[in-house]
Chains A and B, each alone.
Chain A
Amino acid sequence: AQSVSQHNHHVILSEAASLELGCNYSYGGTVNLFWYVQYPGQHLQLLLKYFSGDPLVKGIKGFEAEFIKSKFSFNLRKPSVQWSDTAEYFCAVNAGGGADGLTFGKGTHLIIQP
């Protein structure tokens, strides 16, 4: 079975600060990796995904993530955050086909102070 660990449950940053949210997964085989975001009052939205190829993945709104297989990690980064990035961020993983059931981390609540 897979598991996902997100190290930071609450993160508070000022606007223009750089962001890195940690995500580690536990699974011995090939995995697909995702970051989802849930803005206040909105539904889960896909930020970015990794299936294969270049381990540095670029997503929407200036976010990127790097898959480091040796560290079982898929950290989310953004060089300069904005107040509108305030949201809950979830890392997720599945195995096999991309459509398989996702295993989510507990989420990181990110607050950006103006």
Chain B
Amino acid sequence: DAGVTQSPTHLIKTRGQQVTLRCSPKSGHDTVSWYQQALGQGPQFIFQYYEEEERQRGNFPDRFSGHQFPNYSSELNVNALLLGDSALYLCASSFASGGEGAQYFGPGTRLTVL
């Protein structure tokens, strides 16, 4: 049973560029959430996708956008990158209809903005 997978593992971009990160959920899960984890901090919730729609959003600007595909995989897009966007980006999957479902995390994508 494959867990949550993310690609790429590492990414280096320059200010002003755009980046796309990818996530495949755990088998059987239909909901994908994205988090940003700065060094020495806990993860911060960016948004969540369910049924190909953004279901919930944290306190992040519109430069952060996403997409969910029919196979439940998801992308996180960040436009106009800032130095402060350097962080570990985590994807988590869960089963929305499961009631007491918990979120399971992938290994993350380390984004460095120069």
Contacts and interface: CB of A to CB of B under 8 A. Distances in A.
Interface of A: 4, 32, 34, 36, 42-46, 49, 51-52, 90, 92, 97-107
B58 A98 contact: no
A110 B41 CA distance: 14
Given A44-B90, A106-B41, A106-B42, A101 B105 contact: no
Given A43-B105, A46-B102, A99 B95 contact: yes
| Closest 4 pairs between A and B when the two form their complex, measured CB to CB | A104-B42, A101-B45, A44-B105, A43-B107
Contacts of A101: 33, 45, 47-48, 56, 58
Interface of B: 31, 33, 35, 40-45, 47-48, 50, 56, 58, 90, 92, 94-96, 98-108
Given A90-B43, A104-B43, A105-B42, A98 B94 contact: yes
Contacts of A42: 107
